[in-house]
Every structure is written in structure tokens, then in C-alpha cells.
Structure 1
Amino acid sequence: MDAPATRTTCPYCGVGCGVLVARNADGTVTVRGDTEHPANFGRLCSKGSALGETVGFEDRLLAPQINGRRANWNEALDLVAATFSRTIAEHGPDSVAFYVSGQLLNEDYYVANKLMKGFIGSANIDTNSRLCMASSVAGHRRAFGADTVPGTYEDLELGDLVVLVGSNLAWCHPVLYQRIAAAKQKRPQMRIVLIDPRRTMTADIADIHLAVRPDGDVALFTGLLAWLADHDALDRAFIAAHTNGFDDAVAVAKALSLDEIADQTGVPADELRAFYTLFAHTEKAVTVYSQGVNQSSAGTDKVNAIINCHLATGRIGKPGTGPFSVTGQPNAMGGREVGGLANMLAAHMEIENPEHRDRVQRFWGAPRIASQAGLKAVEMFRAVAGGRVKAIWIMGTNPVVSMPEVGLVEAALKTCPFVVVSDVVSETDTLRLAHIKLPAAAWGEKDGTVTNSERRVSRQRPFLPSPGEARPDWEIVCDVAQRMGFGKAFSYASAAEIFAEHAALSAFENEGTRDFDIGAYAGLDIAQFEKLAPFQWPSPSGQARQRSRFFADGQFFTADSKARFVATLPKPETRTSDAYPLVLNTGRVRDHWHTMTRTGRSPRLSQHLAEPFAEIHPRDARRLGICDADIACLSIGAGSVLVRAFITPTQARGSVFVPMHWNGQFASAARINCVVPSTTDAVSGQPAFKHVPVQLSRFDAALYGFAVLREKPAASDADYWALAKCRDGWRVEFAFASAARDWRAFAAELFGCSIDADILLYQDATTGQKRFAFFADDRLAGALFLGAEPVRVSRDWAVDQLRADFAQPRSRLAIIAGRPGAGGTDRGATVCSCFSVGINQITAAIAEGCASVEAVGQATQAGTNCGSCRAEIKKILNASCRGAGVNSLGGEPQPASVLPSAAAAI
């Protein structure tokens, strides 16, 4: 009998969707959206919908390891505690560091921060949220006096104008995109402006797309402030009563003319006027921003330039208004609340404030408290490289892929005397450098809380037993703390006990002076914790439910309770050069997450985009001699990557976009942060991932290849390879600099077969094509397709052949032909991951009369679950109306002659 559903929270982006998970009698897991959760009301994106495919126990780290050998927990934890203690005794508390993660729960974060700042006595704990949210934190603190997100998700639906800045919401926060799209459908007069260098899928619902130049946001919003002042669109009463610094900010803003703003942003003056006029005349305006704002050397100024415009118009704290930062990770907000950043204390208290330090130290009963900010992420790994940090503990993150300048990070960890890594999976680029590997519990096994982008705390509840010897992160940290001599302060019996202490600290000597207060939950016991429903802070003790928005009363958390305008002026941008003529922008794709340690396990999520790629404008591609589906090389200095070329007019000229996800387990040379330098925002310390001058060239491949195979292949010596899990097996893309090789032997080794196995072989000396199909027990063991050009075989059709019956020898000829035989079907490149609907099925439905996204959905199911592919379906519809082809990435229509290579190879 199937178990009852467990109510928990999705572990992906900062939307914090509620999910219902049921364990089925056959061991599988079914996931659906929780209709009662106020973040998503039952909606899920493709990643959330596929969560059940990522909870298997294969590839898990199952036991502690010391220098590659299996160890028991006592031995491993004794060594961690002893080495950290000895290092601190010999070199001081700043010689050790923790690098933690937005994948941790609040309770994990809380004890790690408590141990480092209150008992070790250093602030050398930072989080990978530094890479995505630090500029928002800094901007909030400069303007509001605290890291306070003013609004709620409801504001995105109530606003008459929603401005999306540096945010591909359709792919990166799909449920929020769906909420906005549904609101616009109900209220067509609602206006949406997208400000982004790329024409992303989010543009599908935008009335205006401002293709701002990379890092042009400060100029754009500084210009908006000046426009508001010049056109009598200010709330002067609010400014006078509740703010400081307005005159200085406006004086700086007016130093730039509209033409200068147009020149610096790349947005024509008439488009700027249209946007500025719309903002000035729309009282209910909300500005949503994400990594395009934060991940910049001017990220904090971008945040304050946006906030300035809302303060100037009094559009803050009211329904349908305000600046709204959406977080990247599931618990980036929670990490900020517990003090997971190196420059903050717990409960939003300030490390530079002696009263706050004294308060936290007294509450914890700590022997010492960190007296100054610690090393931020980039600084931390530089300190490891320089030998100042001699022992580091990395928890639940993969910095050898996700940090900028990953070559330096990798080299630093290789030379560090003591590296501890707690993780879920058995292999990551970072884990292989660890002296001590500690098996952590995964989503589905962990028990605790997370906080989403609208300040809503939700429970993550376990529904699976932890495999092997895996343990919750908070338990691991507490066991080390006890071995270091801090037992009394870390003798928690449950996650509920930690959460209650976290809540009590938020209320300790608060009296309404600090924004973060969840004191109402300080007395929570285990039974109450188990039943805890999602709630939004502030939620102080002994009071009726308070406001869901901040600042409606004009009271801020500065010394004089007034908000601060921050004068912002565009800084000189990072210049391209003859050597590095293009600007690299990195980011996410629809169906993958961070460094793919979770999503890479799902066949469904690899259907849409199965290999790393670079989006290149057609004119740039022609100039560089790069064709669609070639292999492109991006380089800067000593760093370089190889990725598939995807040519699309949605990419701005002079720029190139590459996803951040691919790691050493899934591609030969696609860690894009090899070419991203460690340039950071001077205020926040956040790295700039969105504006990197690079060189782009064509990799001169002598031979391309594609393979499907039943078993996971061993590492390949191909110059380019990209691996993806698929239904019933694996798929691999190849490119080789030389065609000189025994390809039959290569194929046999790839498939794990004898060279004399049951094989079908085709070679064409004229075209250079070679095709091999190995069979075992009337099933396809593997097929390899090679050619001088990118292989034009339908990937999804080839994957389907792994489950086919080939008892009839004649049926095997279709494999060598690379296409269905008589009566066979080819779905084409996947558009809808939820239901595995391909482009050929969608175009067939359109040909049969489906004239809308809804009609296509009724005919094929595409777009009827998470809705993330609806924008792509709409583009296919538009292209069909014009008689053109579309590529498999859902970009703008391209000539039909491009379709075979683009659809087949990507």
C-alpha cells in the first residue's frame, strides 16, 4: 500500500514551492505541487515535477572516507575536530574556514555559523549565496538599514507594472513567471517590461524589452530617477518625512543627459522615454531583479539605483509596489537570517556593531565572538591558495565548478593541508580534492526549515531513510563541535530544538528594533515543529499576526528610522579588446540546476538541453567562421572551455551566453568559470559573472560523434565529450581533433562489449561517415554515429531505440540508417520535458489545425503541467505561421536549412 503524502518544500530555486511527495509500493516517488502552499498554490516547474527521478541511492556517498579509504564516523570526526583544534591553536582562529551552501537548511546553517563565529571565534564562514545574493544584501542594508525584502509574491500579481531586471524568470523562477502570466491574462492592461541584454523566454509576456548593454542598469535607473524628478513624478511628502540623501542622489543623476544614458545603456532614447513615462505614470509598480543585477562589479549600486526610484515615488510597502529581489537558491534567504555570510551575525545582527556582538555572545554563552567580518568567498579561496587558511570545511556545494576563476580554487584546494567536504553524491569536482569526505543526508531525508524570497519559512520533511551512513549536516557539525570541547552549546536532540533557539535569538532584546523576528516560534516543541505550517516573518512573540509587507509606515531600520538614498553613477565598464572582443554572460537553463549534481540524475531534465552550449549572434558567428552545431572554444588567459555553438538572433551582437551548469562529470571541458576572473563588487564581494571579455573561436574538429548506450561509459579521451542520462541508458556527444583511430575498437570499449560482439557496421569513405551498432540479447547495447560534420541523427529517436526489441535482424537496419523505418515515428528534439513531447509532434499538431498554445496542449499535453515550455511552443506556432523552422532551444525562427543540424546536434 502506498504511504500517505509528505508535505515538504522543493529544494531548487528561492521561490520555495510546496510539494506533496508520496512513496509508492514499488519504491518510486511521486511528486506533485501543494495546492495549499502560498508560494505556488500547486504549480511546479519542470525541475520540481521531476524531483522523484533524483532521489535514488545510486552515486551516493555512503560512508565517511579518510584519504580515499573507508572510515567510521568516530574516526573521521575525531580527525576533523583534532585537526581544526590543532590548526587554531598553532595559527589562530582565522587559519580555518567554512564554506557553506544555500542547499543547507536553516538548522544546518545555524549551528555551523554558531560554531565558527561564537566558539572558534572567527567570521571565516561564507556561503555560495555570496555568488548570487550578496549585492542585494548590501543594497538593502545601505538603503533600509537591514537586509529586508519589503514585499511579497502577491505584489507581482497586484502590480499594474512589473519591471523584470536581469532575470530570465521563465526559466530561473518559473512558478513566479507563471503567476505573473496568469495575472496578466486576467488583467490584460497590466504591463510588463523586461530589461535584459538577451531576448530570453521571459520576453514572451513582456510588452517592452529593453536590450540594455551588459552592466548598463546603473545608468538606466539613475536616468529614471532624474526623469522622475524632472517630470514631477515624485512623492515629495514621503521623501521629506521618511528619507535622507535625496538631493545628493538626484544631483548626481542629473549629471547625465538622456542621450548619455542612451549611449551608456545601448537603449535608444525613444525607448527610454517610453519606459520612464510608463513608470512615472503607474502608481502600482514593482521591480523584480535577480542575477543580472547582483552578479556584477557594480551590483550593489544597481540595487540602490532601483531602490532609489521606489523611494522617490513612495512605491514601497504598499500592495503591488516595491523593489523585489528574488533569490537564487532554496535557502539563500535563510542563510542570511542565520548569519551565514562572513560579514553578518545571526538574526540579521551586524558583526561591526559591538552591542550586537555582545548580545549574540551572551545569548549563546559563547567563550568568544568574531569581532570583524571574515573572508568572503573569493577572498577565502585566495587565502587558502596563499596558505593563510590551512583547514577548510566545504558543506553541500561545489566551488571547483561554481566559483569564478575555478582554476585557482582547484589549485588552492590541492595545496591546502586539510580539506573536509560534506556532500550527498560520491563524485564532484570538489569532492575528489577532499582529505575527509563526509556523507550527508539529501533532500527527502533531511528535517528542518528553509526561507524563500518573500520571507516565508517552510518545512522540509523527510520521507526517505538516509542510505548507508549518511547523516544530517547539523548532526555532523554538532558532533565536531562537541569533540572540540563545546559540547554543552551543541547538545541538540533534534532540528526542532535548533529552530526554537534560532527563533529565540531573533527575539532576544529585540523589542521591534530589528526586522528579523520569529519569536512566536521560540517555544516550539517537536510535535509543533512537525506540524509547522508555512509562515512569513516578522512574527514576534505575543502579538497578533503582523504585516506581510515592510515599510508601509515609512519606518526603516536605520538610526533615524529613515531610508537612505544612495547616489549612483555608472562606472567605466569592463572593456573588450582586440584580443577579447566578445562579452560573456553566464546563467541557467530551464531544466538544470547549479552544477547538475541533482538534475544530472534525471533523464527527463536532460532531454531539453543535453550538452553545454554557447549562444552566438549570427553576425558574430559568420565573422568568426562558426556554424550552427560546431564546437566553439571560449578562452581568456590560460582558461578555456569547449561547448556546442548555438546561433540565434535572440543573443545580442558582441555578446555570448554560456550556461553555468556543466561539470567534470558531464563534460570534458565545460566549466565556464574557468574563463571568469575573480572580479567582485567592492561593497558586497559578489563576483561578476555577467560581463567577461572573452575570445571565441571555432574548434577544428576532424570528426564528430554521437552515441547512445545502455551502460554509463568510462571516461573518454575525446577532445570534446558531453554525457547525459537518458531513458534506459546514456547519450554522449563527441568531437575529435584527429580522425585517425581504430573506431571499431573505440566503439567496443565505449559500450563495454567484445570487439567480436554482435555488431552492425556501416562506413562511407566518400563522406567519412561511420556507424556502429552493438547488440546483446536482441537489445541495443549501443550505437555510435561518426561523421565529418555534426551528426544529423535525431537524438530522442536514437534514445528510444534502447528500449526496442531487435529480435528481427532487418529491424536493426534502422539504427544504421539513423532514422525510423517504415511506420516508425520520430518525436524530434524535446520541447516539453514533463511529457517528453518533441518538436515534430508539436508541428504535426499545428499542421492539423492547432492554432494556439492551449490547442497544442490539448492535442499533445505539451505545456499542460509546469508550463515552462509554453513560450517555446508559442515560438514554434509563430514560426509555423511564417513557414520557417525553429531550433531545438526554442529560439527565434531560423531558415529551414539550419534546422537539421541545430535540432540534431543540440
Structure 2
Amino acid sequence: MNLSQDHLAIRPVAPVGTVRTTCAYCGVGCGVSATPQADGTVAIAGDKQHPANLGRLCVKGSALGETVGLDGRLLYPQVREADGLRRVSWDEALGKMAAKWRAVIDEHGPDAVALYVSGQLLTEDYYVANKLMKGYVGSANIDTNSRLCMSSAVAGYKLAFGEDLVPLCYDDLELADMVVLVGSNTAWCHPILFQRILKAREARPDLKLVVIDPRRTATCELADLHLPIKSGTDVWLFNGLLSYLSRIGAVAPDFITDHTNGFDAALAAANIDCADPLAVAKVCRIDPALLIEFYEAFAATAKTITAYSMGVNQSSAGTDKVNAIINCHLIGGRIGQPGMGPFSITGQPNAMGGREVGGLANMLAAHMDLERADHRDVVQTFWDSPAMARRGGLKAVDLFKAIEEGKVKAVWVMATNPLVSLPDADQARRALEKCELVVASDIMQNTDTNAYAHVLLPALGWGEKDGTVTNSERRISRQRAFLPAPGEALGDWQIISLFAQRMGYAGFDFADAAAVFDEHARLSGFRNEAQDIPRAFDMSGLAGLTPAEYAELEPVQWPARRDAAGVVHSEARLFADHRYAHGDGKARFIATATRAPANAVCEDYPLTLNTGRVRDQWHTMTRTGKSHTLADHISESFVDIHPQDALLHGVREGELARISSAWGAMVARVQHGGGIARGSVFIPIHWNGQTSSDARVGALVNPVVDPVSGEPEFKHTPVRIDQFRVNWHSFILSRTEVNLDSVAHWTRIQGKAFARYELAGRNTIGDFSAWARALLGVDDLDADWLEYEDKTAGVYRAVHVVDDRIEQCIFLSPRQDMPSRAWLASLFARDQLSEIDRVGLLVGMPVEKGADTGPTVCSCFGVGRNTICNAIVEQDLQTVAQVTACLKAGGNCGSCVPEIKKILVHTRVELAAG
């Protein structure tokens, strides 16, 4: 496939004007203004009217327009046969699925089939999927990849409050006097929220920002206090805080007596081994002075928010960590008022919407409990369903175990890539290999998971589908279509409804997404007022919208109810009346016992693996991997390791290493980021089988789960690290795809009008020129082929030129000291190479001064490290604000500000040193 921008599969679109929609990435839920252009591209801007972001977008959101092309899209239903995939009609694909599901259910029962869905689905999709499985198939075997990121937060909220309720809103971040970020690299993963916090601190310098994280991340660079606790010791830290608050009298006794239960048991559990701050500091491996500073600040600051994310949730003790945090707010009554409370920040755009409709295997729609007969009766009556699930289904990790064991014989995977994202991902692959029927609904043709699907169903993607999502502050927003449906793709709710009808189920004749939303809204209020404690989740005020009203629905938080006059009232924050969803109306302190992570390091696996995200990529890169803007900041998977550990284990910065665990192995490039403690390593989650030969970190991850939430232990896997010996390193920039089957290790990076490949090999290359020509597919001996070879040094470089424009280039060396990729990428933007360009290509470096901008720092404006360093030196820049004024870098989403700050410090130190 030709990779030039003018040859990408771009749909012709008649411009429809600007459409207000919602971002497809994290749980912040930013509003987006999308304007289709006549050439098929889409102009993207922040929606200034949306209360989540007020017009600001991070670099991922800003680059959404680069991801809507049709290259690589799954456009038609297909079935797998002995000789490969065959295109079929929707009727044939759904008929094959329905026949198999019916046969399996008839022979083995409803629990022998399952759905595995995703926080990428819209709420309407999620609702119909749950209605199908729990109300008609009669099984709760429907779980979601949200199990992997926020199910511990759900479990913690339900235990404490009686319902899955986030009590705060984003405005509270600006009203707080102290914000504590726990296990959250907010500057990179939720940059718009982080910028709101920083802007509030600029207006009120007394606002204190505390970060609790084992790594020194970009977020820590701008914090007032960083507690680098040992991974897995959060419960010790917060139990110690609870004990400290009680001991010094920082409590609200009337609130505890009147509005809570369980205080004595929770305090007793905390006092067992966390009453002594020195002992807590020792377990957490932090300076006791830092610990006391944090405890004192928390005690002295009533308006404190503790915001937590994956570093808390993704743990075999994740639910306990959440409740240990909540306990520290309940003891002082710091909840239900502006600027205070425990705040779960979700990772996916609709993780919250999935929770509303019972997306997890242990939940029912509308925040009802699957284990309660009265709740099951409410839902079954409303749905008029024939076969209601009566017990919780299989959670994600257990589901794939059951598939491998043959207990689940048919699985339908929607909008997710479990062979990359699940822990022990090779087990998930074994499971799908054995499964009798694997169906995948997706927007992309080639994913690690789709390779094992017997039926592929084309779904609509962002910009094409229509519905709603709910962000981390309970705000429902519209995701609107502004692009035509490509090929035969359908919305997920449509696909599920058609399948349900093929199964013979009534109740799935929805006319459009608005009809699904209306049913969801009506269920949320059904028989709710008859309850002693009505469910807080109630969006019945949004029921009965006309299609036009649904189309124009503005962002609104739930609860959303109508008064007697028909006016909808929404609540920004919960619990102002101190009424909770437990039967007695009281919140619960939960006793949290301290315990070490499930698997400790050992002689064979002496290091602890922590996983997470990088700034410019998203999940398994099936969307962000298409954007050249997002590819430049961090191009390859890496393993961040302390220099002393690297020396001890015989690996070097810049070289490749093999990281292995008891469950699997992968290869990544070694780096010393400066923020990792001894004994730990960090690897990002994003790379998959289409973007790298061997970089799926999920293959390593410990599959142990939290006993309450079922969330896996992504932050604590025992691993070892070894050299990955290679004979040569190489990279390629090419306008056409390159066949890499013969290469030992490779990574593919999307460029603008080309693809870049980073390669390494273990073989010995005899004829460099023949090898390069074969790899690049250049068999024309008369081609314009420039090359340089130093056989003694093992250095080779070649450039293929077509019509005076660079078509491909390849550079090879036994070492990593090869030319700047940024400089070479700039040559692909030129219609014609100059003679000085050709000279530079042969000598392996730019001849013109300033041609090499260096690695990208600010992706929003494409500003490289060398450009920033040169500006600091030449214009005597002293502050980040001056760098931004000069180069724009850091002036959009701000997620690169911590990096600019570090560059500024290092450059000025070098200047001072002479």
C-alpha cells in the first residue's frame, strides 16, 4: 500500500458545517468541534461551550482528524474459511452467528456464550448489549475492558456509599485548597484536568498539589510535594493517615455518628500496623519528614480532593486502596461540599456510561444489583424479558480462562483488543485459538484479536456513530456523526439488535439511537421513587426527548430529574444532604487490612514491573497509531530502569533488552528516564502486533486479580531483564509498506506521507546493497539509488529517489549512532531533493544548520528538542512562559510543559558550566 498522504483511503465528504461532538479518548470527556472538509479531511478544535474543557484539547484530541481515514478499515462482514476470510452479506454473517449461539445455548446453557465489550462503546451500544445478555440470553457473561481500569473504583464506591457514585465535579478541582493525585500521571493521561488545576494554582498560589506515585512522572515535576511510595503500599499510607487524623483529633464526630457506620472497625484495622508514622514511612520507603508533611497538610486542609486513577485501581488490593482513601475523607466529613472528596478519574471515554447500564458482569442496568431479587424484578418487568440472569457472570480474566477450558464456547468481542490489553495476554490468545466461535466487531481489519475471529463485523467509528458518553464527573455528552458510514459498517447497537432479532428476541426494534437513549433514561427512573432510598442514578428527566431534542442535547450531569413543572434539574455534586444509598442512608467506613501484592519478586524475577501510558498514545494504538503527529514524541516501546539496576543486569541505555515474567516475554529499548526507583521497571501498554514485532507488555502481566473488583495487578509483576543481543541496527523511511518477516525485531511508526521502521537483526548481512534492495522491494537495477558502504565498520546507507523525490531510505550500523530521524522526515515533505540534500544523505547528517530539529517535545506545534535548546541559548530564555511565547511549545494542552521545564534547567546549567 502506498503511504503518501494523497493516496490514503480518504472518503469524499460533502461539508456539513461544524458539528459539536465529544472526544474519543480519556474519561475527561472533552467537547470537540469537527468540521469536515471537501477533500475528506476533518478540521478539529476544542468546543468552547463544553464545560469539561472550555475549548482546550490535548494533543491526542487535537489530532483526531488524522485518524478518520479509511486506510486499514474493516468495511464489510467477513467469515473465516479454510483458505482465509471471505466477504459475506450481513444476513449470512448474522445467520452463522445466531445458528451457533442457539446450538450452544440449547446444548450447554446460556452461560456457554459471552460478550466482551469496551469503554469505547457508546452508552446506547452498551445498553443494548446488556439487555441482550442479561435479559434475553439469561446470562451475565458480559464483561468489559473497563474491568481492567476502573472496576476497583466502582467496588470501593459501592461499599462506601451503597451505589457507584462519584460525588464531585471538575469545578471542585479549582475550588479545592489541596489536590492529592494518587497513582495518576495526570499531566500526560488527563492533561486538560491537569491544566485546570495548574491554572487554579496560578490564581491561588496557596493551592497545594501533592502527587503520590512510585515514579517521578511529568506530573511530579510541577507538584509541591511528591511521595514516591513503594509500589503496592497505598493502603499503609492511607491507613496511617486515618490513624493520624484520629490521633490528633482531625475528625467530625457528629458526622461520623449521624451519617456513617463502621468507623471503629476501620480505625482498629488501620491501627494494627499503621499507627506509627515511622513504621509507615519504612514500609512505603519514603522519607518520614515527607510523610508527616503530607499528613499535616491533609489534616489542616478541609477542602482537599484525593483524585486517583490506574495506580490505585489496577491492583490485587485495588478496592482496599480506594476504601482506604474514602475513609480518610469520611473521618472529617470532607464530602458533599465544594472542593472536597474522593474522585475517581476514569481512563476511557465511556467507562462511566458502561457503569450506568450495568456493563460489568456483576451489575444490572441503572445501578441496580444483580444479586438482589427485587432489583432483578424491576429490570425484568421493565424489559418484559423472558430469561433474566440471576447471578453474576464471569469477569474479564476468568472469562478468558473459561474460554480456554471450553466452558464458554462462543464469545463476541466488541471494540477492544484483549490479546494486547489483558494480563497474561498469551493465555487470551490460547483461549481464542480453542474457542468454537469468535466474533469480533471492530473498525479495523487487522488487530491481534481479529486474527483469531471466525466472523468479523464492521462497526462505525468515531465521527460516524451517534449516541452519548458519560465522563468522570457524571456528565452525559453527545457524540455526533459528521461523516458518512463507510462500506457496510453499522453502529454497534444496530448490530446487536439485528443479531437479537435473528435469535428470535422481541424488544430490539429500536428506530435509532435516540430510542435506545429514551429507554435507558426511562429505566433509570422506573419504580425508583418507590424505594426507601431512591437510586442516585436517575436520568429520567431526559426521558421522552423528541429526536430533535436528543440531537441538540447539551452536556448534562446526572442525577437529572424533572420537577412538577417539567423542568429538568441536574446535580453537580452528591451527598450535600449526607444521605447515602445504603438502606439506612449512612456511608460506610470499610476496614482495610494491609497486604503485600500477590506475587513478590524472587531470584528468578528480581524486578517489579509497572505498566502505564505515554503522553501521545492511546490503549493499543489502533486509532492513535494512524496519526503522524502522535508518533514523534515516543516512537518505540521502552523499559525504564534505574542505571544501577541496568548495570547489575547487564543492559545498556539505548540498546534492546528482553523482559520476561512467569507468564511471557517481550523486547523493548532500555532508557533511564530518571524517575524510576531501584528494583522497579516501567513499560508502556500501547504497542501491538501491528506496530511492533514483540512489544505486547500484556504478555508479561501478572493475571492475579482483586478478590472484590476482579481488576488485575497491572502495577506489580515480578520480571527479569536480559540483553537482547543483535548484530546490527537499522531504520527505514518509506512511502510504501515494507515486508519485515525476515527481521528479528522491528517497530513501525506512522510518519507524514511515509512510514518509519526501527529494525534490529541477529543475522550476518553479506551483501548490504542486495539486502537493502530486497527489503525495500527495489528490483530495478536502473533505479536512482544512492548508497554509501563501509564494510569494515559495518555501516551502510542507501536512498531510493523517484522523479527527484525521496521514495525510501535505509541506514544500518552495528551501533545506535545513526542519523536524525527528524531531519530525514523533513526531506519526505519536499517535492524535490536538492544537491545539498543528496550530499547530506550520503554523509549521514544534515549539511544545513538548523535542519535537525531533534526529537519532538511539543506534538501540538511540532517543536523539537534542538529547536528549544537553540532558542534558550540564542535568546537567553529563562522561563517556560518565555519558551512558549517564542516557539508556541507548551501553549496548547500543556502536557509538554514538564519536559520543557527540564530542558530549560539542563540547558541553563550547561550554559553556566561554560
TM-score normalised by structure 1 residue count: 0.96
In structure 2, what is the Cα distance between the partners aligned to 1:884 and 1:599?
Answer: 38
Deviation, 1:808, is 4.9
1:439 aligned residue (440, 450, 458): 458
- Counterpart residue number, 1:804: 830
Match status 1:383 vs 2:408: no
1:601 aligned residue (616, 626, 646): 626
Q: Tell me which amino acid in the other structure corresponds to 1:648.
A: G
4+ runs deviating over 4 angstroms = 805-810
Residues 491-527 of structure 1 show CA distances to partners (whole Å, capped at 9, x for unaligned) of 0000000000000000001116101100011111211
1:851 aligned residue (875, 878, 882): 878
Residues 384-432 of structure 1 show CA distances to partners (whole Å, capped at 9, x for unaligned) of 0000000000000000000001101001101100000000011100011
Deviation, 1:353, is 0.4
Deviation, 1:711, is 1.2
1:587 aligned residue (583, 599, 612): 612
Q: Where do residues 169-208 of structure 1 align in structure 2 (5 Å cutoff)?
A: 169-208=186-225
Deviation, 1:812, is 1.2
In structure 2, what is the Cα distance between the partners aligned to 1:638 and 1:737?
Answer: 25
Instruction: Label 1:744 to 1:637 Cα distance change in 2 as closer, same or farther (>3 A).
Output: farther
Verify the 8 A CA contact 1:327 1:453 in the aligned structure 2: yes
SS in 1 for 2:331: helix
Q: Where do residues 106-505 of structure 1 align in structure 2 (5 Å cutoff)?
A: 106-256=123-273, 257-486=276-505, 488-505=506-523
SS in 2 for 1:750: helix
Q: Tell me which amino acid in the other structure corresponds to 2:794.
A: G
Verify the 8 A CA contact 2:740 2:746 in the aligned structure 1: no
Q: Tell me which amino acid in the other structure corresponds to 1:229.
A: S
- Counterpart residue number, 1:901: none
Match status 1:517 vs 2:538: yes
Match status 1:842 vs 2:868: yes
Match status 1:620 vs 2:645: yes
In structure 1, what is the Cα distance between the partners aligned to 2:880 and 2:371?
Answer: 54
In structure 1, what is the Cα distance between the partners aligned to 2:105 and 2:495?
Answer: 19
Q: Percent of counterpart pairs with the same letter?
A: 51
Residues 636-688 of structure 1 show CA distances to partners (whole Å, capped at 9, x for unaligned) of 13611111111122111111110000000000000001111211001100001
- Counterpart residue number, 1:639: 664
Q: Where do residues 21-32 of structure 1 align in structure 2 (5 Å cutoff)?
A: 21-32=34-45
Deviates further, 633-642 or 187-196: 633-642
Deviation, 1:859, is 1.5
In structure 2, what is the Cα distance between the partners aligned to 1:581 and 1:391?
Answer: 39
Deviation, 1:758, is 2.1
In structure 2, what is the Cα distance between the partners aligned to 1:180 and 1:678?
Answer: 35
Q: Tell me which amino acid in the other structure corresponds to 1:566.
A: I
Deviation, 1:816, is 2.3
Residues 191-213 of structure 1 show CA distances to partners (whole Å, capped at 9, x for unaligned) of 01100000000012210000010
- Counterpart residue number, 1:794: 820
- Counterpart residue number, 1:832: 858
Verify the 8 A CA contact 1:709 1:802 in the aligned structure 2: no
Residues 810-852 of structure 1 show CA distances to partners (whole Å, capped at 9, x for unaligned) of 6312112222123561111100111111011111111122222
How many residue pairs are counted as aligned between the two chains? 886
Match status 1:695 vs 2:713: no
Root mean square deviation of aligned Cα:
1.5
- Counterpart residue number, 1:705: 730
Deviation, 1:805, is 4.7
Deviation, 1:466, is 1.2
2:707 aligned residue (675, 682, 686): 682
- Counterpart residue number, 2:681: 656
Verify the 8 A CA contact 2:729 2:761 in the aligned structure 1: yes
Match status 1:738 vs 2:751: no
Verify the 8 A CA contact 2:232 2:596 in the aligned structure 1: no
Deviation, 1:884, is 8.1
Verify the 8 A CA contact 2:663 2:702 in the aligned structure 1: no
Q: Where do residues 512-551 of structure 1 align in structure 2 (5 Å cutoff)?
A: 513-542=534-563, 545-551=569-575
Deviation, 1:546, is 4.3
In structure 1, what is the Cα distance between the partners aligned to 2:295 and 2:663?
Answer: 43
SS in 2 for 1:485: coil
In structure 2, what is the Cα distance between the partners aligned to 1:572 and 1:293?
Answer: 14
Match status 1:725 vs 2:750: yes
SS in 1 for 2:295: helix
In structure 2, what is the Cα distance between the partners aligned to 1:743 and 1:413?
Answer: 41
Deviation, 1:274, is 0.7
Instruction: Label 1:693 to 1:730 Cα distance change in 2 as closer, same or farther (>3 A).
Output: same
- Counterpart residue number, 2:49: 36
Residues 599-656 of structure 1 show CA distances to partners (whole Å, capped at 9, x for unaligned) of 0000000011111111111111122222221001100136111111111221111111
SS in 2 for 1:7: strand
2:802 aligned residue (776, 779, 804): 776
Instruction: Label 1:154 to 1:824 Cα distance change in 2 as closer, same or farther (>3 A).
Output: closer
Deviation, 1:551, is 1.1
- Counterpart residue number, 1:889: none
SS in 1 for 2:590: coil
In structure 2, what is the Cα distance between the partners aligned to 1:861 and 1:315?
Answer: 40
Deviation, 1:27, is 2.1
In structure 1, what is the Cα distance between the partners aligned to 2:888 and 2:388?
Answer: 57
Instruction: Label 1:669 to 1:310 Cα distance change in 2 as closer, same or farther (>3 A).
Output: same
Deviation, 1:759, is 1.4
In structure 1, what is the Cα distance between the partners aligned to 2:766 and 2:894?
Answer: 46
In structure 2, what is the Cα distance between the partners aligned to 1:175 and 1:698?
Answer: 39
Unmatched segments (≥5 aa) in structure 1: 886-894, 897-906
Residues 90-145 of structure 1 show CA distances to partners (whole Å, capped at 9, x for unaligned) of 11000000000000000000000000000000000000000001100100111100
Verify the 8 A CA contact 1:423 1:437 in the aligned structure 2: yes
Deviation, 1:475, is 0.4
Residues 335-361 of structure 1 show CA distances to partners (whole Å, capped at 9, x for unaligned) of 000011000000000000000001100
In structure 1, what is the Cα distance between the partners aligned to 2:283 and 2:640?
Answer: 23
Deviates further, 721-730 or 765-774: 765-774
- Counterpart residue number, 2:6: none
Verify the 8 A CA contact 1:798 1:818 in the aligned structure 2: no
Verify the 8 A CA contact 1:745 1:755 in the aligned structure 2: no
In structure 2, what is the Cα distance between the partners aligned to 1:46 and 1:38?
Answer: 19
Verify the 8 A CA contact 1:705 1:791 in the aligned structure 2: no
SS in 2 for 1:727: coil
Unmatched segments (≥5 aa) in structure 2: 1-13
Q: Tell me which amino acid in the other structure corresponds to 1:844.
A: N
